[in-house]
């Protein structure tokens, strides 16, 4: 069917208007299309089936570094090498994108141990993705954030801006080796990509599929949050991940407060905390209004000054005329 120039322009303008409106609303197509996972801590027995499944499903993506590593300058730059410790599974590493965290807590006066799978939270507005200086970290419309190993230079900015320090570095692999390996870059950053190829093919992530207890479920974010609230209301429980860092696509439900869980877990490198997290991207984003207004303010200031000067001049001339 032929399209008239008028219809084409109309369609183009409508598309441009829709695109321009996208950032203004949370309820954009991207936000609606986001998939979130619900992790019901009550059901986790800490068997580690999810960890094994993750390692199996992602083995082909794990780094095979070239050795010896290039000498790096200055001397404070250290190599991060996990290739000789691939079996480590009690923390996050480039070879272990999911681990079981154990928390000693008191429930009903009795001390007990709770276990929970920990990995990338897949934030709704991920700083690792948005602030990567090369575009190596990407966010998919379905809410998955992933790091492209072909582009990542291993500068680890993503880990510095991640509230949970999730991405882990492996030296001796990636694009930096072909650029200036001694002076810029230090490998590739690795983290959970929520099995993005499987999800794209209509499957579910390996960790969810392998869990014998049904700890994790995946679905549209709104539905997952509604379900999390229903469970929390039913058991008098608590939710983590809905509001943290402006919202994430990983929602935990726990029978004990997360402050208590956070006290009971081992924290440190590769072992993320469970503390409340403010929206890290929001502070500078609020300045966007100033960026939008500034040019108009500057132009208006120039115009008003010009008018004011002209009137002063006019008044002066009238005074001289008298």
Partner 1 sequence: MATDALRPAIRIRPGGPARFVFRGLVFVLALTGFGQLPIYNRYYLSDLPGFGWLADYWATRFVHYAAAALFLGLLAHRTARHLFSPRARRRLTRSGALRAGILTVLVLSGGLIVVKNFPGVFLSDAAVIAVDLVHLGAATAFLLAQLAAMLARRPWTEPLAREPIPPFNPRPETPRGT
Q: Which CB sits closer to partner 1, 8 or 303?
A: 303
Annotate each residue in 265-294 with x if it binds partner 1 (CB under 8 A) or - if it does not, as one string: ---------------xx-xxx-xx-xx-xx
Give the nearer residue to partner 1 in terms of CB position, either 49 or 72. Answer: 72
For residue 209, what are its two tokens? 């599929």
Cis peptide before 3 (omega within 30 of 0): no
Q: Within 13 Å of residue 115, how many CA atoms lie on the same side as its CB?
A: 17
Inter-residue contact 275 to 122 (CB < 8 Å): no
135 near partner 1, rule: CB under 8 A: yes
Q: Terminus-to-terminus CA distance in the chain, angstroms?
A: 75
Q: Which is nearer to partner 1, 179 or 284 (CB)?
A: 284
* Strand 137-139 relative to strand 110-118, pairing: unpaired
**Does position 180 bind partner 1 by CB under 8 A?**
no
Rule CB under 8 A: say whether 168 interacts with partner 1: no
Tokens found for residue 231 = 């469970």
246 near partner 1 (CB under 8 A): yes
By CB under 8 A, what part of segment 1-60 binds partner 1? 22-28, 30-31
Report how far residue 313's alpha carbon sits from residue 310's, in angstroms, rounded to the nearest whole number. Answer: 5
Looking at residue 40, the DSSP 8-state letter turns out to be E
Task: Please enumerate in sequence order all residues whose Cβ is within 8 A of that of 84, keeping only pairs 6 or more positions apart, or say none.
Answer: none
Q: Which of residues 183-242 bind partner 1 (CB under 8 A)?
A: 184
124 near partner 1 (CB under 8 A): yes
In the complex with partner 1, the residue whose CB is nearer, 100 or 153, is: 153
Measured CA to CA, the distance from residue 149 to residue 165 in angstroms comes to 18
Shortest approach of partner 1 to residue 30 CB, angstroms? 5
Using DSSP, state whether 7 is helix, strand or coil: helix
Least distance to partner 1 from the beta carbon of 187, Å? Answer: 12
Report the run of H or E that residue 147 belongs to, with start and end.
Answer: strand 145-147
User: Residue numbers of the site for partner 1 (CB under 8 A)?
Assistant: 22-28, 30-31, 74, 76-77, 124-125, 130-131, 133-135, 138-141, 148, 151, 155-157, 160-161, 184, 246-247, 280-281, 283-285, 287-288, 290-291, 293-299, 301-303, 305-307, 309-311, 313-314
């Amino acid at each position: 069917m032929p399209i008239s120039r008028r219809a084409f322009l109309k369609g183009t303008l409508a598309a441009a208007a829709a695109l321009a409106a996208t950032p203004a609303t949370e309820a954009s197509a991207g936000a609606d299309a986001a998939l979130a996972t619900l992790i019901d801590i009550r059901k986790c027995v800490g068997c580690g089936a999810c960890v094994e499944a993750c390692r199996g499903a992602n083995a082909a993506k794990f780094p095979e570094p070239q050795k010896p590593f290039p000498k790096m300058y200055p001397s404070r730059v250290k190599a991060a090498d996990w290739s000789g410790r691939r079996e480590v599974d009690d923390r996050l590493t480039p070879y272990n994108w999911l681990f079981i965290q154990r928390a000693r807590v008191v429930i009903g006066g009795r001390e007990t141990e709770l276990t929970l799978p920990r990995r990338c939270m897949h934030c709704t507005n991920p700083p690792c993705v948005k602030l990567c200086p090369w575009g190596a970290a990407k966010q998919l419309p379905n809410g998955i954030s992933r790091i492209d190993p072909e582009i990542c230079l291993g500068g680890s900015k993503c880990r510095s801006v991640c509230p949970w320090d999730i991405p882990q570095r492996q030296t001796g692999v990636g694009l930096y080796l072909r650029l200036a390996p001694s002076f810029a870059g230090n490998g590739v950053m690795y983290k959970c990509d929520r099995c993005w190829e499987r999800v794209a093919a209509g499957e579910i992530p390996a960790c969810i599929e392998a869990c014998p207890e049904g700890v994790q479920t995946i679905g549209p974010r709104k539905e997952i949050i509604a379900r999390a609230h229903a469970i929390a209301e039913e058991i008098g429980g608590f939710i983590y991940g809905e509001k943290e860092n402006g919202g994430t696509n990983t929602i935990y439900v726990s029978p004990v407060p997360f402050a208590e869980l956070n006290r009971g877990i081992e924290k440190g490198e590769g072992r993320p905390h469970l503390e409340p997290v403010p929206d890290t991207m929001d502070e500078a984003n609020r300045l966007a209004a100033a960026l939008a207004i500034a040019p108009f303010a500057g132009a208006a200031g120039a115009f008003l000054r010009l008018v004011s000067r002209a009137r002063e001049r006019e008044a002066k001339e009238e005074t001289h005329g008298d």
